[in-house]
């Protein structure tokens, strides 16, 4: 069975993105880049909501991304990707397919089928929807030592309380802390 993991940056005041989808506040240094490149070696199918997908698709396939962070850019571009959207019709980022309807049921089916694990990046409303339906097996949160004051809250729209069990931590020299949780 495949597992669904969420990987997200989070500010100390609970935002996964700042105003206007800004993520420039995330302290993504050498250690974090090495961690990201290592995680991408595991051939997880990457999942995105539309907004996160559009942000990522504008950056990772560019020469700038390949120059700034070649290992992560190459892995992101090689990965199979799914975008949950009713408006994206013809995705331009390589190896991307669109799921528009019954996305929770389609994830349930993917989890039951043999294949690679899945990683949902960003995509707060999709995270909330999947969390409410008990579809997420692990939450990996990169907690950044920054207060944004405003932005998009993590799991905005979550309808049910979800108790989590801490399974691992890692502290980066930037002050960012990786927290891994599983639902209880």
Residue 123: per-residue pLDDT: 79
Tens digit of each residue's pLDDT (9 = 90 or more) over 30-59: 888 788 777 777 778 999 999 899 989 999
C-beta atoms surrounding 43 within 10 Å:
12
Measured CA to CA, the distance from residue 37 to residue 67 in angstroms comes to: 14
Extents of the domains making up the chain = 4-176
Instruction: Count each helix (H run) and each strand (E run) in the chain, helices first.
Output: 6, 10
pLDDT-based confidence at residue 79 (cuts at 50, 70, 90) = very high
Name the nearest CA neighbour of 168 among 127, 134, 145, 140: 140
Report the percentage of the chain scoring pLDDT > 70: 99
Give the β-pairing of 152-153 and 138-144. Answer: unpaired
pLDDT-based confidence at residue 6 (cuts at 50, 70, 90) = very high
pLDDT at residue 167 above 90?
yes
User: What is 4-176's CATH topology?
Assistant: Dihydrofolate Reductase, subunit A (3.40.430)
Structure tokens at 53: 């997908």
Residue 72: per-residue pLDDT: 86
Mean predicted confidence (pLDDT) in 56-74? 92
Mean predicted confidence (pLDDT) in 145-165? 92
Tens digit of each residue's pLDDT (9 = 90 or more) over 97-142: 999 999 999 999 999 988 889 999 987 889 999 999 999 999 999 9
Average pLDDT, the chain: 91
Residue 106: per-residue pLDDT: 93
Measured CA to CA, the distance from residue 17 to residue 19 in angstroms comes to: 7
Classified as helix, coil or strand, 96 is strand
């Amino acid at each position: 069975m495949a597992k669904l993991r969420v990987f997200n940056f989070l500010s100390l005041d609970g935002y996964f993105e700042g105003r206007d989808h800004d993520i420039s506040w995330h302290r993504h240094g050498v250690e974090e880049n090495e961690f990201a490149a290592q995680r991408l070696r595991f051939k997880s199918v990457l999942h995105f909501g539309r907004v996160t997908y559009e942000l990522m698709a504008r950056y990772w396939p560019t020469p700038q991304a390949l120059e700034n962070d070649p290992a992560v850019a190459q892995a992101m571009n090689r990965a199979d990707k799914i975008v949950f959207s009713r408006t994206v019709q013809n995705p331009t980022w390589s190896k991307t397919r669109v799921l528009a309807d019954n996305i929770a049921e389609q994830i349930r089916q993917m989890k039951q089928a043999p294949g690679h694990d899945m990683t949902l990046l960003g995509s707060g409303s999709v995270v909330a929807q999947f969390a409410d339906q008990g579809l997420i097996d692990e939450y990996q949160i990169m907690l950044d030592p920054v207060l944004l004051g405003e932005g998009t809250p993590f799991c905005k729209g979550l309808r049910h309380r979800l108790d989590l069990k801490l399974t691992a931590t890692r502290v980066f020299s930037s002050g960012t802390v990786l927290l891994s949780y599983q639902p209880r």
